[in-house]
């Protein structure tokens, strides 16, 4: 994929911001397993209000009788500091919820600990560290430079139904839609600055079921075993070649993620067999089109399909914004970032409906793993990169 040219005349900016490590530790210390609420938002609000941000918090989802797959209740935060009328509006976006820590940590996952040049704790890279860097980066930006905002959800790691989408509704209702949005997901691979995301593939999960007739295994003529038909259905789906990729996107892939019959008896033909597939797809497809295609294949095998679309593919075409981000990265790291659309989904898939969106953040090697950790020097460098992006956006 193409790389972006180094911005000319770049100069190293001094670091006048609050201590980003202290900010990151305060956020990590909040046990904010998705869906996050309460203390982590109190902490973030306490960081932003002294910097002149008006903070708006609200709870969404979790109503009685709601579908469990939608999750909730979820807390969200939108903070904005208005610049001069007509000035550009740059938004930082991210999430303060984290995945469960799991077992086997060397230390408490929610008791941040500095060991050597690393800061350990759940969320250190995904993505409380990046949020801390965002706050530190804007601390010394003059209020008259432009409009800054933070779009922060507690439901990115969960169903993502009542999080960023609800924030988008709020921003539209308030007439405070950003011109540019930078998402702090951990995009770097081997060194800070080697990759940024200018798009993402779409995602659809499809639940499959083949019904049969339960019966005794010794009398198969009196039953209808759905298992062979489910196996044949999955074999046909697994053999599909959806495409060979595009200029900016890797090939779409279909993966079988669950097979379930749940039959506790060895002498009973089951009455139903179920499975689940996940498709990550590029801009040659839509979630609805793939759902219809799988539904038709399932019907040929006597089954049904229930698609749930998590997001559609999107691309922020290379241009001024991508050059702005790449220039800031190069000025601080000496690297020219690869512009990629690889990896999983993020809330950028929703934010792209508002304005151009680019993702850039820390190394992703330890995200969702035990002993998640960030290099302290990377956090400090990320502050400088984010600050350069702000300055460039407001030039």
User: Residues annotated as binding site for Zn(2+)?
Assistant: 95, 126, 157, 185, 368
Q: How far is CA 354 from CA 90, 222, 341, in A?
A: 12, 58, 19
Is 97 noted as a catalytic residue in this protein? yes
Q: Quick check: is 241 catalytic?
A: no
Q: How far apart are CA 47 and CA 56, in angstroms?
A: 14
Residue corresponding to tokens 């550009």: 88
Residues whose CB falls within 8 Å of the CB of residue 37, separated by 6 or more in sequence, listed in order: 59, 73, 74, 75, 154
What residues contact residue 84 under an 8 Å CB cut-off, 6+ apart? 144, 146
- My answer on whether omega of the bond before 225 falls inside 30° of 0, hence cis, is no
Q: Give every strand in the sheet of 89-95, ordered side by side.
A: 54-60, 74-81, 147-153, 89-95, 180-183, 357-359, 195-197, 338-340
Terminal Cα-to-Cα distance of the chain (whole angstroms): 28
Give the separation between CA 60 and CA 390, rounded to whole angstroms. Answer: 30
Q: Which is catalytic among the residues 25, 75, 155, 156?
A: 156
Indicate the DSSP class of residue 319: S
Q: How far apart are CA 77 and CA 23, in angstroms?
A: 17
Annotated binding site: 95, 126, 157, 185, 368
| 75, 97, 338, 378: the active-site residue | 97
| Listed residue (316, 255, 247) closest to 284, CA to CA | 247
Q: Of the candidates 293, 302, 182, which has an alpha carbon nearest to the alpha carbon of residue 242?
A: 293
213 forms beta bridges with: 224
Tell me the β-bridge partners of 80: 54, 149
Whether omega before 220 lies within 30 degrees of 0, making that bond cis, reads no
The dihedral built from the CA positions of residue 374, 347, 355 and 76, taken in this order, carries a sign that is negative
Q: Which residues are catalytic?
A: 97, 156
């Amino acid at each position: 994929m193409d790389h972006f040219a180094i911005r000319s005349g770049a100069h190293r900016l001094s670091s006048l911001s609050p201590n980003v490590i202290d900010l990151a530790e305060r956020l990590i210390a909040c046990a904010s397993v998705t869906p996050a609420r309460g203390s982590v938002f109190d902490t973030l609000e306490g960081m932003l209000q002294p910097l002149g941000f008006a903070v708006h918090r609200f709870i969404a989802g979790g109503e009685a009788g709601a579908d469990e797959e939608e999750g909730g209740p979820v807390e969200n935060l939108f903070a904005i500091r208005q610049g001069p009328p007509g000035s550009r509006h740059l938004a930082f976006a991210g999430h303060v919820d984290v995945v469960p820590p799991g077992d086997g940590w060397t230390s408490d996952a929610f008791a941040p600990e500095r060991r050597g040049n690393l800061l350990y704790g759940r969320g250190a890279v995904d993505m409380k560290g990046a949020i801390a860097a965002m706050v530190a980066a804007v601390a010394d930006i003059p209020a008259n430079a432009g409009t800054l905002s933070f779009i922060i959800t507690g439901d990115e790691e969960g169903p993502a139904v009542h999080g960023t989408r609800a924030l988008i509704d709020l921003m539209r209702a308030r007439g405070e839609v950003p011109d540019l949005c930078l998402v702090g997901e951990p995009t770097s691979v081997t060194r800070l600055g080697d990759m940024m995301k200018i798009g993402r593939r779409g995602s659809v999960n499809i639940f499959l079921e083949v019904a049969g007739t339960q019966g005794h295994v010794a009398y198969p003529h009196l039953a209808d075993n759905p298992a062979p038909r489910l196996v044949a259905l999955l074999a046909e789906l697994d053999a599909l070649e959806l495409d060979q990729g595009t200029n900016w996107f890797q090939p779409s892939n279909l993966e079988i993620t669950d097979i379930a019959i749940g039959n506790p008896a060895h002498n009973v033909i089951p009455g139903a067999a179920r499975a689940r597939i996940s498709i990550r797809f590029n801009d040659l497809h839509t979630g609805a089109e793939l759902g219809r295609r799988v539904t038709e294949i399932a019907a040929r095998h006597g089954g049904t399909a229930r698609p749930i679309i998590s997001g559609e593919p999107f691309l922020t075409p290379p241009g001024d914004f991508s050059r702005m981000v790449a220039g800031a990265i190069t000025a601080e790291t000496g690297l020219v970032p690869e512009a990629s659309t690889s990896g999983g989904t993020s809330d950028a898939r929703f934010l792209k409906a508002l304005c151009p969106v680019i993702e850039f953040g820390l190394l992703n090697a330890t995200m969702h793993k035990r002993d998640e950790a960030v290099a302290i020097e990377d956090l400090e460098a990320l502050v400088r990169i984010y600050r350069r992006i702000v300055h460039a956006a407001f030039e």
